[in-house]
């Protein structure tokens, strides 16, 4: 049986005792592990800016894609989250498409304004120095020797053996950091499937095709031409989109009871915004009518289940918080 190195046991102790009111610590730890995986097995010097780039990616996806709060509701947003939300707002202001975008897909756009991007990284780095870098090592009255810290230069140092150990136990460490992160997020958010969202954020967010749902919804149309669910306008054949009434980023699932036909422009404009109660009532009525029209028992059963459990109303209330 393999003996766990004392060095890794120290990492486990840090994670086990990670009592905090924000998600800085799991983000900081996960970033260090990820950076080690990208480097050679040599003595490493890691800058706070490198860690900040990783944490920006984590927060961007969790906040923009899934609108997950990183600290308790009613308290001031944590400083890194405020910086990331500001960056997201700049992105939305400068781009017509209001739909959430995965960080890797827009990173090049964010870096076009190089000065602004570097300024934001420096801001994140400053908050990490202030709130995380030294506190991360503290377990009660002990200080774990995970890395050598130079706060003035905003650097951490790892020797070759430490890098090798981190790489060897990278999967376990990352899963433990994610578990702690999920535990915190579940305290701060009403959203469903948080663990799945963190896993998706880490592995890459891949949304499934909605083409089968498009076909089902078109086949259920009574009129000669389909109409936009939101505006009531006639849809052109080359401009028919399928939209999640309750945003996919919140529900993290493709379900017929939550899908409607709309135009591409309406879909883009709506983004992750919360619809009115009138639209929710319309969706509930639409689902009742859809049950009568469909022939596929699989989707009929799903719609009936959604109606019996009042999914539309329940998820809508959770979304509104």
Stated pTM of the model: 0.80
Give percent of the chain with pLDDT exceeding 90: 66
pLDDT higher than threshold 60 for residue 8: yes
Q: Which two tokens stand for residue 198?
A: 């963190």
Task: Tell me what the mean pLDDT of segment 280-293 comes to.
Answer: 94
Sign of CA dihedral 246, 247, 250, 255: positive
pLDDT at 138: 94
Beta-bridge partners for 143: 138
User: Closest Cα partner for 32 from 46, 14, 13, 20?
Assistant: 46
For residues 210-220, average pLDDT: 91
pLDDT of residue 158: 97
Q: What integer pLDDT is reported at residue 75 of this predicted model?
A: 63
262, 298 Cβ separation under 8 angstroms: no
pLDDT at position 76 is 66
pLDDT band at 105 (very low <50, low <70, confident <90, very high): confident
Retrieve residue 4's tokens. Answer: 């766990």
Q: Assign 252 a pLDDT band (cuts: 50, 70, 90).
A: confident
- The Cα–Cα gap between 201 and 27 comes to 13
Query: Which pLDDT band, with edges at 50, 70 and 90, does 2 fall under?
Result: low
**pLDDT tens-digit series, residues 38-52:** 998 799 999 999 999
For residue 74, the model assigns a pLDDT of 62
- Per DSSP, 246 falls in state S
pLDDT tens figures, 147-200? 999 999 999 999 999 999 999 999 999 999 999 999 999 988 888 889 888 887
- Compare 273 and 244 and report the one with higher pLDDT: 244
Q: Answer whether residue 312 shows pLDDT above 80.
A: yes
**Is the pLDDT score of 144 beyond 90?**
yes
The pLDDT assigned to 40 comes to 86
pLDDT (0 to 100) of residue 7: 97
Average pLDDT, the chain: 90
Closest Cα partner for 261 from 224, 302, 220, 307? 220
pLDDT at residue 21 is higher than 80: no
pLDDT at 203 over 80: no
pLDDT digits (tens, 9 = 90+) for 74-101: 666 689 999 999 999 999 998 877 778 8
pLDDT category of residue 214 using cuts at 50, 70 and 90: very high
255: confidence class by pLDDT, cuts 50, 70, 90: very high
Q: Encoding tokens for residue 318?
A: 């959770």
Asked if residues 58 and 201 have their Cβ atoms less than 8 Å apart, the reply is: yes
């Amino acid at each position: 049986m393999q003996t766990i190195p004392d060095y890794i046991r120290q990492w486990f102790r840090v994670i086990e005792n990670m009592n905090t009111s924000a998600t800085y610590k799991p983000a900081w730890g996960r970033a260090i592990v990820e950076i080690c995986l990208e480097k050679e097995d040599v003595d490493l010097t890691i800058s706070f800016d490198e860690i900040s780039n990783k944490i920006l990616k984590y927060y961007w996806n969790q906040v923009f894609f899934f609108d997950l709060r990183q600290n308790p509701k009613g308290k001031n947003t944590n400083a890194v989250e405020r910086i990331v939300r500001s960056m997201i707002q700049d992105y939305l202001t400068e781009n017509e498409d209001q739909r959430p975008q995965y960080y890797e897909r827009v990173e090049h756009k964010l870096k076009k304004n190089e000065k602004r991007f570097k300024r934001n990284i420096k801001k994140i780095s400053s908050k990490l120095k202030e709130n995380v870098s030294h506190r991360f090592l503290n377990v009660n009255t002990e200080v774990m020797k995970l890395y050598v810290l130079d706060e003035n230069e905003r650097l951490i140092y790892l020797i070759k053996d430490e890098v090798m150990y981190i790489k060897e136990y990278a999967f376990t460490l990352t899963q433990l950091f994610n578990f702690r992160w999920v535990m915190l997020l579940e305290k701060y958010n009403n959203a469903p499937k948080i663990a799945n969202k963190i896993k998706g954020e880490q592995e890459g967010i891949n949304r499934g095709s909605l083409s089968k749902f498009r076909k089902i919804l078109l086949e259920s149309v009574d009129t000669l031409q389909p109409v936009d669910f939101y505006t009531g306008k006639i849809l052109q054949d080359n401009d028919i989109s399928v939209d999640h009434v309750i945003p996919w980023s919140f529900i993290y699932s493709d379900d017929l009871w939550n899908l409607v036909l709309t135009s591409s422009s309406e879909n883009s404009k709506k983004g992750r915004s919360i619809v009115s109660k009138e639209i929710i009532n319309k969706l509930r009525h639409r689902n009742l009518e859809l049950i009568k029209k469909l022939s596929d028992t699989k989707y009929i059963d799903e719609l009936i289940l959604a109606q019996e459990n009042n999914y539309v109303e329940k998820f809508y209330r959770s979304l509104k918080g």
